[in-house]
């Protein structure tokens, strides 16, 4: 029983971070209909940027995160302007491949600037444990869950309440209709990429706290695909539930079956979900059957 509770708690905590990592992916897909294969690398760039500002520049971590956020906005807008905008209206397969190329460029840039040695972020989240009977709950995970919850809630409110958020949903729904309403589709696209980069900085920093700053983050970034497919590509609640499901699945397989099976289980589930319900649990039912 203790094991079960322990696995559940760890799974949920990992799931929250995964949901946050998936958020940027959902944002971009929601607004622009682009599948961003570079999301994992966005996370990595975010984590390294924060590490650089804290360790190399010596800023306080709040300032460092703020600086990294500004950098993320610039990077997001630049990528949208230079790489994605020329691809508007192209075959979806070509757009996917462009983001794959983008992922390679980002990865190469990270290697050139920061090298391949894993780094440690200085601890700015408490690292102790809470005890509940036999169950231990690492404090850093509790904080990760809290931060993830706040950010996800903020984005949900943004999408339902703010002018820009609603404009973004309008663009996602129908670009021409949105243009007729006087919404600048270009600006919305740029904003979506900037916001995705911003969420990646937060997600990357949290991941870096749990795993260290290294290429592992990109691998975790690939789990994002499982999260968004389970939850639905265009749904923020879906990302949260999908994150929880993938997190729990991984923990249960690791705890009860073992043998490294937890690395592959998310992808098996992904294929099964794709075959049965491709739009996920919460996604909009719009998939084309062939």
Q: Which residues bind other proteins (CB under 8 A)?
A: 35, 83, 86-87, 90, 92-94, 96-98, 100-109, 111-112, 222, 225-226, 229, 259-261, 263-264, 267-268, 270-271, 274-275, 278, 287-290
Q: How far is the CB of 82 from other proteins (least distance, A)?
A: 9
Q: How far is the CB of 132 from other proteins (least distance, A)?
A: 34
**How far is residue 31's CA from residue 229's CA, in Å, rounded to a whole number?**
17
Please say which residue, 109 or 129, places its beta carbon nearer to other proteins. 109
Please say which residue, 74 or 108, places its beta carbon nearer to other proteins. 108
H helices present in the chain, as ranges: 2-32, 39-51, 61-79, 92-114, 139-161, 163-173, 175-180, 185-211, 216-231, 236-252, 265-276
CA diameter of the chain: 60
The two three-digit tokens of residue 212, written as one number: 């260290």
Rg, the chain, Cα only: 19
Q: Which of 84, 98, 37 is nearest to 194 (CA)?
A: 84
Please say which residue, 72 or 224, places its beta carbon nearer to other proteins. 224
**How far is residue 120's CA from residue 48's CA, in Å, rounded to a whole number?**
10
Q: How far is the CB of 209 from other proteins (least distance, A)?
A: 25
Q: How far is the CB of 106 from other proteins (least distance, A)?
A: 8
Please say which residue, 138 or 280, places its beta carbon nearer to other proteins. 280
Task: Report the chain's terminal Cα–Cα distance, integer Å.
Answer: 46
Please say which residue, 154 or 261, places its beta carbon nearer to other proteins. 261
Backbone φ and ψ of 138, nearest 5°: -65, 135
Q: How far is the CB of 50 from other proteins (least distance, A)?
A: 21
Please say which residue, 51 or 225, places its beta carbon nearer to other proteins. 225
Q: How far is the CB of 150 from other proteins (least distance, A)?
A: 29
Q: Which of 266, 236, 191 is nearest to 20 (CA)?
A: 236
């Amino acid at each position: 029983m203790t094991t079960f509770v322990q696995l559940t708690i760890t799974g949920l905590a990992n799931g929250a971070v995964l949901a946050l990592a998936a958020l940027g992916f959902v944002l971009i897909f929601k607004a622009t209909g682009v599948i961003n294969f570079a999301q994992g690398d966005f996370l990595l760039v975010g984590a390294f940027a924060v590490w650089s500002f804290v360790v190399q520049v010596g800023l306080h971590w709040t300032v460092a995160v703020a600086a990294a956020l500004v950098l993320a906005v610039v990077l997001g807008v630049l990528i949208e302007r230079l790489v994605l905008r020329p691809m508007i209206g192209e075959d979806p397969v070509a757009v996917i491949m462009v983001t794959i190329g983008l992922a390679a460029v980002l990865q190469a840039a990270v290697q050139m600037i920061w090298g391949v040695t894993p780094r440690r972020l200085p601890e700015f989240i408490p690292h102790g444990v809470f005890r509940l009977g036999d169950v231990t709950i690492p404090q850093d995970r509790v904080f990760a869950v809290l931060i993830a919850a706040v950010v996800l809630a903020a984005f949900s409110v943004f999408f339902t309440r703010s002018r820009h958020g609603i404009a973004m949903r309008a663009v996602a729904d129908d670009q021409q209709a949105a243009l007729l309403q006087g919404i600048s589709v270009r600006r919305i696209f740029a904003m979506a990429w900037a916001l995705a980069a911003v969420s990646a900085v937060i997600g990357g920093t949290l991941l870096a706290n749990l795993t260290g700053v290294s290429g592992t983050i990109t691998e975790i970034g690939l789990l994002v695909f499982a999260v968004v497919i389970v939850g639905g590509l265009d749904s923020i609640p879906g990302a949260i539930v999908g994150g929880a499901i993938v997190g729990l699945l991984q923990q249960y397989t690791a705890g009860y079956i073992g043998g490294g099976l937890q690395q592959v289980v998310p992808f098996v589930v992904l294929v099964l979900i794709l075959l049965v319900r491709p739009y996920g649990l919460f996604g909009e039912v719009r998939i084309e059957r062939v």
